[in-house]
């Protein structure tokens, strides 16, 4: 039996391409990479890694909430960084935004578009179980 799939779109977070911001499958939420784009301006949120990463975490929080989850329910993240020298700052932010039992993390160093220095995607458990589809009567 296939699990129901729901594409989630967050009006609170800008997209920079033709992709789903999140997909909920059963009780799991899978997000696309959330960059440090300021939703108010549609522009990169500052010139520093910290400014962009803070905005990316805020964007991830919004997408997860709109998909029925939250940062505390994240089990896996991939943090894409453009400079390996940013790891110390990332670790500090990781402890701030994902305290307690932090999720599993992979952190590849990659080239990102539009002058971005950071992007984060996540897999999270939904807060409420997915509702089964209504049966046809």
Of 17, 23, 49, 54, give the one whose Cα is nearest residue 38.
Answer: 54
Interaxial angle between packed helices 49-66 and 87-97, expressed in degrees from 0 to 180 and rounded to the nearest 10: 30
Higher pLDDT, 136 or 41: 41
Rounded to an integer, the average pLDDT of 19-38 is 95
Long-range CB contact pairs, 38-45, < 8 A, 24+: 38/14, 39/12, 39/13, 39/14, 42/14, 44/114, 44/115, 44/116
With cut-offs at 50, 70 and 90, classify the pLDDT of residue 133.
very low
pLDDT band at 130 (very low <50, low <70, confident <90, very high): low
| Global pTM value | 0.90
The per-residue pLDDT for 17 is 84
| Alpha-carbon distance values, 26 to 7, 41, 103 (Å) | 12, 34, 20
What percentage of the chain exceeds 90 in pLDDT? 82
SS3 (DSSP) at 55: helix
Mean pLDDT along residues 21-34: 95
| pLDDT of res. 136 | 42
**Predicted local distance difference test score (pLDDT) of residue 128:** 73
How many Å apart are CA 137 and CA 121, to the nearest integer? 39
User: What is the pLDDT confidence band of residue 1, given thresholds at 50, 70 and 90?
Assistant: low
Kindly list the structural domains of the chain, giving each domain's residue range(s) and its CATH number in brackets, ordered by start: 5-125 (3.30.1330.40)
Mean pLDDT of 85-95: 96
- Give the mean pLDDT of 64-86: 97
């Amino acid at each position: 039996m296939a699990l129901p799939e729901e594409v989630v779109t967050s009006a609170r977070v800008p997209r920079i391409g033709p992709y789903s911001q999140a997909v909920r499958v059963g009780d799991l939420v899978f997000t696309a990479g959330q960059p440090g784009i300021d939703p108010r301006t549609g522009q990169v949120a500052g010139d520093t890694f910290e400014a962009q990463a803070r905005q990316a975490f805020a964007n991830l929080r919004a997408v997860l909430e709109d998909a029925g989850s939250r940062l505390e329910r994240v089990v896996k993240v991939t943090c894409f960084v453009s400079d390996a020298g940013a790891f110390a700052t990332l670790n500090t932010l990781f402890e701030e935004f994902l305290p307690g039992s932090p999720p599993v993390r992979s952190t590849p160093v990659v080239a990102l578009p539009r002058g971005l220095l950071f992007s984060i995607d996540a897999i999270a458990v939904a807060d409420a179980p997915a509702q089964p589809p209504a049966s046809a009567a």
